[in-house]
Amino acid sequence: MELDGNLGKHGLEGDALVQFLTKGGELTAVKSNKWKKKSFYRLMDDGRTIRQESFIRDNTFSIDDIESIRTGRQTEGLQKYTDATLEEHCFSIIFKGKHKNLDLVASSKADAKRWVAGLRKVITNLENLSSQQKSEQWIISCMKRADKNGDSMMTLKEVMSFLHRINIQMDDMHVAKLFDECDTSKSGTLEGAEIKTFIDLITQRPEINAIYEKYAVTGGQMSAGDLQNFLQEEQKETVSVEYAQKLLDKYEPDCTGQQNERMTKDGFLMYLDAAEALIFNPAHMNIYQDMTQPINHYFISSSHNTYLMEDQLKGPSSTEAYIKALLKSCRCVELDCWDGPDGEPIIYHGHTLTSKVLFEDVIKTIMENAFKTSEYPVILSLEIHCSVPQQKRMVEHLTEILGDALLKRPLGTEVPTLLPSPEELKRKILIKGKRLNKLEAAFNNNNNNNNNNTEDVDSVSEEDEAAEAKPEGERGAKPKDPKKIEINLAKELSDLVIYCKSVHFTSFEHSHGKQACYDMSSFKESKAKHLAETSATGFIHHNMEKLSRIYPAGSRTDSSNYNPVTMWNAGCQIVALNFQTAGEEMDLNQGRFLPNGKTGYILKPEFLRNPDSQFDPNNCSKGLWFKKKILQVMVISAQQLPKLKSIVDPYVRVEIFGVPVDQASAHTTYISNNGFNPLWNQNFEFTVRVPDLALVRFLVMDHDTVLHNDFIGQYTLPFTSMQNGKH
C-alpha cells in the first residue's frame, strides 16, 4: 500500500474532467449581495477532498460529505443574489446534514459544466467503490495527512498520528513493538511493503476470518458449493449452486480466482458489503406493494412547518427546506400562507421572527422537485391566513406553475365513496384545506350556489394550527366560541380542494355517519395520543375510511418531534414531523419509509384496513395480527466509525419500536478508545408479537462517564424488511 497519489485506484487516471478538477480554478462563492468572494478550488490527489485556497485561509471538504450537485441558479441564494444572465455560470454543492450549501459562480459556462460533470463523476465513482476499496482509500488518505513532510515514509511519531486519525488509541509500547516488527529494513521508518504489513496487522478482522475459514474448504478458498453452504447455513437462504456461482462471478475481484471459480477472502468481503447481504431485504428496495388501494390505506411520509430550516421562533424560512423534504420522499408538505407586500402572498411561521419566503417561489420549487424521488402524489397542506385578494393570487400561482400536475377536479364521473389510489393519482399534486361546499358541487357545472366572485365565510376547527396558535384579540374581538375562528375564503381556492377537505372532528360516530370519505381532520399530537391510547380501535376504523393528519404541539418552539409510532399503530396516515430536526423520531420516519422504492407510501397492514378487524395496539394478544416472532441479534463488530471530539468508546444499542408490548431495547458494553474496529460479539433476544408494525433501530453511541453519551450513527428499518444472516 503506497502513499502516492491514488486517483488511479479510483479508476479515473487520465480522465480529462478529473484532470480539470485536479488542476483547479477560480470560483466565486455567493452568500449575499455584499458577500461574494473568489477563491481557488481544486481536487486534491487523494481524489476525495476539495481544497479552497484564499488569501485569508485554506479550507477543505470531503467529496463524501456532498449530497448532490445542482446546475444553474436552483438554490434560493443564487436566485436572490445573482443575475439571471449568469444562469449557466452557476452551480451549487449541496452537503449532507446541516452544512450550508456552497453556491458558486464560474468564470464561463464551459467551466461551470466541467466542474459539475467532474464532481458528479468523482462522486459516482466513490459511491461505486466496494467497502474494501473505500476502506483502503480512507486509510491512505489518513496516512497521507499524517505524513507531514510528504516523503511517503512513516516515522513512529507519524504512525501514532495516523492511528489517532483513524479513531484508535493503542498503548505506546504496543505501537512501538508493531512498528519494529514491520520495520524489516531497520531504517527507523516504514515504507512500501512495510506500510502494507503494518496496515494488515491493525486491520485484521478475526470475526470474518473465522467465518471464511469455516466454509472455505476447497483448497483454502470458497468454491460455489462452499458459498452455497454458507448461504444456506448462515444466511438461512434456500439457494442453488448456480445462484452461488453468480455471486462468485459478480464479487470475486481476483482474475485468478475467477478463472479457478473460487472466491477469495477479498471477494467474500465484497459480497458481505453488497445488496444481497444487507440486513435490509433487497426485494423491498423497489416498489413491491399494491399501490392501487385507497390512499387512506397507506402511511404517507409527511412534513410539518416544511418551510423552516431550524426553530419556529426566529429560524430561517427557505425553499431549500422543501427541496430537502421532497428529495427524502416526503409526500405531504405544509405551507403557512400570509399576506405579503405588493399583493404577493408569503410563507412563514406567523407572529414570529422567522424569515419569509414568497408563496410563488415555494410553488415553483415544489413543481421542480415533487417527483424526482417518487412519482406518487404530493399533498400541499395549506394554512390560510391571507385576505381574499391574495388567496386569488395563490390560485393563479398554483394553476399557472403546477399546470396539469395540479388536481383541479375529481377523477371519474360520480361522487366518490372511496378515495382514489396512489397509482391513480400518480404525478398529481393535491390541495388540502377548507372547502365551502361538498364535492358534489364539482360534478355540477351549473352550480348556482356560488359564483366566481363570491367571498364566503367558513369556520376553522380547534384542531387546525391556525386556531390553536391564534393570539387573543389578534383579529379583533375574541370569538364567542373559543374553539372557532372565522376566515374569509375565496371560492377559487376552495374549489381546488378535492380529496383533502379539512373538517372539524367531533367524534368517530359523527365522522362515520355525517362526513364523506374526502373529509379529513387534523389532530394535535396530544389529542391524537389520547385517542390512540383510549379509543385505539375506533381511531383505526376512522382511518380505514378517512385520512387523518397529526401535527406537533405549538409548544415545540425548538421544532422538536413527537414519537410517530403511536400514531401509526392507530392507523394515522399523515403523521407530520419537523423534517429539519434530526433525532430518534426522524430516524423512525425514514426507517418506516425506507422500503417500497422510497415512494413515501407504505401500505398499512391488513388488520388496519379490514373493517372486520378489532385490532387494539394496547391489547393485542389475540387476532390475525398476533404473529409472535423471536428476534435474535448478535452484535459482532464495527468498522471505521467517525471520530467525534476525541477517540470514541463505542457501544451499540438495539431498539424495538412498535405496539407497547413489543417496545424493548438492549445494549452492548462499550469498547474503550477504538472506533476503528471495535469487536463486541454480544447476543440479544427480543420477542416481537406484532411484527407488521415493528421497527428495529441499531444505534451506535460514544460512551461518556462524565457528560452525556454522544450519537455516532444509526440504522432503522421495518422488522418485516429484515433478512436473516450475517450483515
CATH classification of the domain holding 210: 1.10.238.10
- Measured N-to-C along each axis, helices 172-182 and 193-202 cross at an angle, to the nearest 10 degrees, of 140
- Is 45 assigned a ligand-binding role in the annotation? no
Helix, strand or coil, per DSSP, at residue 555: coil
pLDDT at res. 4 = 52
Same domain as 501, residue 452: yes
Co-location of 164 and 70 in the same domain: no
Give the pLDDT band (50/70/90) at residue 558.
Answer: confident
86-90, 536-540, 723-727: the lowest-pLDDT one:
723-727
Mean pLDDT across 318-328: 94
| Most confident option among 150-154, 345-349, 639-643 | 345-349
Q: How far apart are CA 185 and CA 191, in angstroms?
A: 9
The pLDDT value given to residue 673: 92
Distance, in Å, from the CA atom of 47 to the CA atom of 187, rounded to the nearest integer, reads 30
If asked whether residues 62 and 155 sit together in one domain, one would say no
Residues 262 and 356 in one domain: no
Least confident span in 6-20, 27-41, 433-447: 6-20
- The Cα–Cα gap between 573 and 548 comes to 6
Mean pLDDT along residues 289-308: 97
For residue 419, give the C-alpha cell.
Answer: 378515495
What is d(CA 222, CA 229) in angstroms, rounded to the nearest whole number?
A: 10
Confidence of residue 20 (pLDDT cuts 50, 70, 90): very high
Choosing from 304, 397, 504, 541, the catalytic residue is 304
As a whole number, mean pLDDT of residues 153-182 equals 91
262 is in an annotated binding site: no
Q: Which of 669, 668, 654 is nearest to 719 (CA)?
A: 654
Could you tell me if 44 and 61 are in contact, meaning their C-beta atoms sit under 8 angstroms apart?
A: no
Q: How many domains does the chain have?
A: 5
pLDDT digits over 68-127, tens only? 999 999 998 999 999 999 999 999 999 987 788 999 999 999 999 999 999 999 998 888
Task: Determine the 3-state secondary structure of 458 from DSSP.
Answer: strand
Work out the average pLDDT over 197-212. Answer: 89
Domain assignment present for residue 452? The answer is yes
Q: Which amino acid is at 381?
A: S
172 domain residue, yes or no = yes
Task: Please indicate if the annotation marks 254 as binding a ligand.
Answer: no
Q: Could you tell me if 584 and 672 lie in one domain?
A: no
Q: 383: annotated binding-site residue?
A: yes
Q: How confident is the model at residue 149 (pLDDT cuts 50, 70, 90)?
A: confident
Q: pLDDT band for 464, please (50, 70, 90 cuts).
A: low
Per the structure, the complete domain to which residue 210 belongs is given by 206-277
User: Does the structure show a pLDDT above 90 at 354?
Assistant: no
Whole-Å CA distances, 664 to 39, 660, 661: 52, 9, 8
pLDDT at 461: 43
pLDDT for res 445: 59
Output the pLDDT for position 99. Answer: 82
Is position 287 within any domain?
no
Q: How confident is the model at residue 719 (pLDDT cuts 50, 70, 90)?
A: very high
Instruction: DSSP for 695-725, please give it.
Output: EEEEEEEE--SSSPPEEEEEEEEEGGGB--S
pLDDT at 705: 81
Answer with the one of 608, 642, 672 that is the final residue of a domain.
608
Residue 661 lies in a domain: yes
Cβ(156)–Cβ(176) under 8 Å?
Answer: yes
Strand-strand pairing, 601-603 and 574-577: unpaired
**Residue 479, pLDDT score:** 45
The model's confidence at residue 470, banded by pLDDT at 50, 70 and 90, is very low
349 tagged catalytic = yes
Lowest mean pLDDT among 17-31, 444-458, 501-515, 590-604: 444-458
Last residue of a domain, one of 608, 638, 668: 608
Contact 636, 210 (CB under 8 A): no
Question: Buried b vs exposed e over 456-475: b needs ≥16 C-beta within 10 Å?
Answer: bebbbbbbbbebebbeeeee
Higher pLDDT, 559 or 585: 585
Q: What is the mean pLDDT of residues 630-641?
A: 94
Confidence of residue 391 (pLDDT cuts 50, 70, 90): very high
Q: Confidence class of residue 64 from pLDDT cuts 50, 70 and 90?
A: confident
- Distance, CA of 476 to CA of 329 (rounded, Å): 41
pLDDT confidence band for 385 (50 / 70 / 90): very high
Mean per-residue pLDDT for 254-276? 89
pLDDT of residue 402: 98
Is the pLDDT at 24 greater than 70, yes or no? Answer: yes
- Are 639 and 528 within one domain? no
Residue 613 is predicted with a pLDDT of: 95
With cut-offs at 50, 70 and 90, classify the pLDDT of residue 356.
very high
181 & 224 share domain: no
Annotated binding-site residue? 432: yes
Residues 610-620 have a mean pLDDT of: 94
Average pLDDT of the chain is: 89
Q: Assess whether 304 carries a catalytic annotation.
A: yes
* Statement to judge: residues 299 and 430 lie in one domain: yes
- Residue 624: all three cell numbers together: 390475525
Q: CATH no. for residue 70?
A: 2.30.29.30
24, three cell numbers = 483547479
Mean of pLDDT values over 687-706: 95
Count Cβ atoms within 10 A of the Cβ of residue 178 and give its class: 0-12 exposed, 13-18 middle, 19 or more buried. Answer: middle
At 374 the pLDDT is: 97
200 is in an annotated binding site: no
Query: Cell numbers 412563514 correspond to what residue?
Result: 348
- Residue 552's pLDDT band (boundaries 50, 70, 90)? very high
Least confident interval from 235-244, 260-269, 468-477: 468-477
Residue 245 lies in a domain: yes
| 135, part of any domain | no
**Quick one: 455 and 586 in the same domain?**
yes
Residues 336 and 433 in one domain: yes
Q: Both 158 and 124 in a single domain?
A: no
633 & 673 share domain: yes
Long-range contacts at 399-407 (CB < 8 A, ≥ 24 apart): 401/360, 401/363, 401/364, 401/367, 402/363, 402/366, 402/367, 402/429, 405/367, 405/370, 405/429, 406/431, 406/496, 407/377, 407/431, 407/498, 407/499
Quick one: pLDDT band at residue 10, thresholds 50, 70, 90?
low
Q: Is residue 711 part of a domain?
A: yes
Q: What integer pLDDT is reported at residue 539 of this predicted model?
A: 97
In a domain, 460, yes or no: yes
Determine if residue 458 is labeled as part of a ligand binding site.
Answer: no
Question: Does the annotation list 524 as a binding residue?
Answer: no
What pLDDT score was predicted for residue 612? 95
pLDDT of 456 = 54
Would the pLDDT of 396 be above 60?
yes
User: At 713, which CATH number?
Assistant: 2.60.40.150
Residue of 297, 349, 385, 504 marked catalytic: 349
Cα separation, 252 vs 271, whole angstroms: 8
Among 130, 165, 194, identify where a domain stops. 130
